[in-house]
Structure 1
């Protein structure tokens, strides 16, 4: 059978036979995507059978079923996920190849023009011109960067940036707001721990950036090169200059995969995974399910990192699955933490230690991962005693993290590279018309989604106060939340603020934060994702209204 090439990394085909799979392997294809739901026809090769055929040829496999005429966001996100984690070139198939071509086309929307996409599919023999409206229109189209000025410029279209934009618009719809964000995709990153534990589908943690951009803002799809706060302007990488009356800096934190020698070359294969990546979180669950005996290592780098509890969450969910499967006793589990304590707030350490003991985890403090040799299945750590190399069958890596370079090298940064703001008002300490929040901020709180949810209304109120000539009155108390998934079905809901002060959102008779509970699990697995997409990103500040400075 002749396979039809859509791009350098993907071809499509009608239904494959066993002989076709062998031919694809000979032609150099490294993976297969099955886009056909099982049992469409009685003699159809099932997804399980196709996966076995692919594996027999040393090929990767993904099952992304799509019913004819019913391709929605979930199917598109599944295709994006499969293409991001499979080694190419990839061969996708359905009954005729049309659905596979359609999924590819929709997965490219926003990355290529509609004309480019449709030319590629037409050249392969698929007329997908009816898709043009979907390829051309997402709820908001990015603007071409150009010299301009706005009331508010927000750097970063992630959680903190979009929540701030939405909160501002809820207070003043007349504001002219620009959001600068280079990515086409928006991720609900707290969900990746659940993906790695087999609870969430990775497709549910993604939406196109255009669909979550608040209505009424101008989106510039670009990246910042430099800040010039003395001139109230910034410059994009393409040379465009954007001026502002006020600036909100929310670029997030950069994952420094290259800081660990050899990690980049082996991440996503050879038993090396991380829930800190959309592409590899599903691989975590794959490894956990397949591991029946051997050694599993989990790592945590030096602070600061986003969601300091996430390295442990991956370990606890993995151990709980192995316990339920009856194989935990065959697996040596070790946690290597660059820090000196299990968790930074002492009240939560005893309940966490009870799970460490239950799962038989070997704790290694002040032990920092510095190198990974995936082919040899070895990891090297640096500790006070020197360097030590350990074998592994699976290793979950949390990458070191740092401020984005364009921020760290700017006049807005503190010595550590983060936007230098007052920890209560979130106003810049030297430039009064600049505010910062989220993981890129200098505030000494836990870098969590919950922190950004509380910070956004504070920035919104204080920014509007600045525009009105008033002193900042809204205050941030350092609130952060870390729902620690200690087992499937139970979570330790750690909520705290500056100085480790406990800041529970609920009375203890509803949720006792120092005890693992089922209700906390339901909050994490059911309520919080819905609140994120339908509340936080839309300016609805449920249980997030800011505190205020007492009147003089």
Structure 2
């Protein structure tokens, strides 16, 4: 994929929203701005070295999962060592659909059809696709079982299944969604109507836009003294795209403000964590943004139950207190305390608990926590040295974002080829994570960081500031870069 094709795809995105920016304006910016030029270059520069590209490594590689991480890895392997036999196992016919766009669908900026892509259109040349699901892992014998019957053997395996959305982990809800486009009929019995919404699956994102419009209409008609209540939740588990629950809150507020009724709705962010963001500099900036907009927030509040008919969400707050004094240890025992707090709502965005698929979590390649345990820099399995993992399912301290996967898949391929060739694993994942935190209809704070837990901006701009330029990146550039750069193994 040449740069001019990437540019054309970006301009195609611009054409869909002429009310925001014209093609001429975008082209002028994209061709004249050094910053935009560097973004485009980053989408097309090849990542393999001359020696890696000429690798004659041979063997059978099985990739479990054909989403963004898995299919990009397959493409890069083919670009790097064409003698390797690569098989991708993926049951979802739309597995490569652009999940980061679900926030924009929920905000009414995109339609659902704008983010749906067919898996079969992105299978790299020379890669075998098995349209099924792995139902058993047998790493001791280097094989997996597909759909309970077909055995597939390998020399090396890459686990890139993604995670599952466990709505049933909240009392009052039912169902688990295995992928963004999977059957969600059970979940939609309660989510996507009557004030309760969630952007984490495609249908849910589309319903959320309807819910925001309903909230705006309700606010316009509201004449009571008390404000309407909008709640946004963050669970106690790791989640994909950790900024998404805040993004949809910012976007709800933007639509309320646009309609002139922001003063009629109180927006509250309840998080099971102890901070608004894991990196202090970004947490401080978000706190100021919250204060400016009049948002409320509570730490240590985990959504544990919801009554969608009565519109009451119950959060459990947990903390520790001093217990009895231990004379032998000369210290106080710490006792865990908890209390339930009910919140009435008119609108709620539910972020469900998330985890590895059960078939992974309960297998030998999983762990006590469910995720696939890997060495955090090489991404090699902690026990099975011919197993690798990346993306949302990998047990990494941070990095469940598409931007992280963009770094991870280069590390996996380089180290996998090195392992086959009997060389040292020299590629290291530095923990790079990026969160384009949408703060309004037109501004984004581009939060980038790594293992250091400090901001690591790619550009010489204050990363804690909300900027229009990052909106341009988020809405117009990232999808073409992903679909035609990363999924071809070139970004």
Please state which band the TM-score falls in when normalised by the shorter chain.
Answer: 0.7 to 0.9
Question: Quick check: 1:198–1:285 contact (8 Å CA) kept in 2?
Answer: yes
Question: Quick check: 1:150–1:243 contact (8 Å CA) kept in 2?
Answer: no
Q: Distance in 2 between matches of 1:457 and 1:501?
A: 23
**1:80-135 Cα shifts (integer Å, max 9, x gaps):** xxxxxxxxxxxxxxxxxxxxxxxxxxxxxxxxxxxxxxxxxxxxxxxxxxxxxxxx
**1:181-224 Cα shifts (integer Å, max 9, x gaps):** 11111321110111111112111111111112222211101111
Q: Which runs of 4+ in 1 moved over 6 A?
A: none
The structure whose RCO (Cα within 8 Å, separation 6+) is larger is 2
What's the offset of the Cα at 1:165?
A: 0.5
Picking from 355, 358, 376, the partner of 1:405 is 358
Correspondence list, 1:492-503, <5 A: 492-503=445-456
Matched, 1:280 2:204: yes
Picking from 480, 483, 486, the partner of 1:533 is 483
Q: Distance in 1 between matches of 2:309 and 2:259?
A: 28
Picking from 377, 387, 393, the partner of 2:311 is 377
Question: Quick check: 1:484–1:493 contact (8 Å CA) kept in 2?
Answer: yes
**1:363-418 Cα shifts (integer Å, max 9, x gaps):** 11111111222221221111146112222111111010011111111111232111
- TM-score w.r.t. the length of structure 1 is 0.69
Unaligned runs of 5+ in 1: 1-73, 75-148, 542-552
Which protein is bigger by CA-based radius of gyration? 1
Provide the residue aligned with 1:21 in structure 2: none
Secondary structure, counterpart of 1:452 in structure 2: helix
What's the offset of the Cα at 1:285?
A: 1.4
Provide the residue aligned with 2:444 in structure 1: 491
Q: Distance in 1 between matches of 2:444 and 2:83?
A: 42
Q: Distance in 2 between matches of 1:529 and 1:435?
A: 26
**1:484-530 Cα shifts (integer Å, max 9, x gaps):** 0011111110001114132222222xxx3111111111111111001
Q: Distance in 2 between matches of 1:282 and 1:236?
A: 32
**1:429-467 Cα shifts (integer Å, max 9, x gaps):** 221111110010012123111011110011111111111
Q: Distance in 1 between matches of 2:469 and 2:366?
A: 40
Picking from 53, 66, 85, the partner of 1:157 is 66
Q: Distance in 1 between matches of 2:288 and 2:254?
A: 13
Picking from 130, 145, 154, the partner of 1:244 is 154
Q: Distance in 2 between matches of 1:410 and 1:169?
A: 29
**1:461-480 Cα shifts (integer Å, max 9, x gaps):** 11111111112111100001
Provide the residue aligned with 2:238 in structure 1: 304
Secondary structure, counterpart of 2:372 in structure 1: coil
- TM-score w.r.t. the length of structure 2 is 0.77
Q: Distance in 2 between matches of 1:516 and 1:395?
A: 25
Correspondence list, 1:108-127, <5 A: none
Provide the residue aligned with 1:200 in structure 2: 110
Q: Distance in 1 between matches of 2:169 and 2:195?
A: 19
Question: Quick check: 2:163–2:356 contact (8 Å CA) kept in 1?
Answer: yes
Question: Quick check: 1:328–1:359 contact (8 Å CA) kept in 2?
Answer: no
CA distance change for structure 1 residues 539 and 420 in 2, over 3 Å: closer, same or farther? same
Matched, 1:329 2:263: yes
Provide the residue aligned with 1:518 in structure 2: 468
Secondary structure, counterpart of 2:278 in structure 1: coil
Provide the residue aligned with 1:3 in structure 2: none
Provide the residue aligned with 1:482 in structure 2: 435
Secondary structure, counterpart of 1:414 in structure 2: coil
What's the offset of the Cα at 1:150?
A: 6.5
**1:25-69 Cα shifts (integer Å, max 9, x gaps):** xxxxxxxxxxxxxxxxxxxxxxxxxxxxxxxxxxxxxxxxxxxxx
Q: Distance in 2 between matches of 1:346 and 1:170?
A: 39
Provide the residue aligned with 1:131 in structure 2: none
Q: Distance in 1 between matches of 2:110 and 2:254?
A: 16
Secondary structure, counterpart of 1:291 in structure 2: helix
Provide the residue aligned with 2:389 in structure 1: 436
Question: Quick check: 2:306–2:313 contact (8 Å CA) kept in 1?
Answer: yes
Provide the residue aligned with 2:48 in structure 1: none
**Number of aligned pairs?**
391
More displaced stretch, 381-390 vs 462-471: 381-390
What's the offset of the Cα at 1:173?
A: 2.2
Question: Quick check: 1:319–1:328 contact (8 Å CA) kept in 2?
Answer: yes
What CA RMSD, in Å, does the superposition of the two structures yield over aligned residues? Answer: 1.6
Q: Distance in 2 between matches of 1:212 and 1:269?
A: 34
Q: Distance in 2 between matches of 1:288 and 1:358?
A: 21
Secondary structure, counterpart of 1:165 in structure 2: helix
Question: Quick check: 1:271–1:395 contact (8 Å CA) kept in 2?
Answer: yes
Question: Quick check: 1:257–1:399 contact (8 Å CA) kept in 2?
Answer: yes
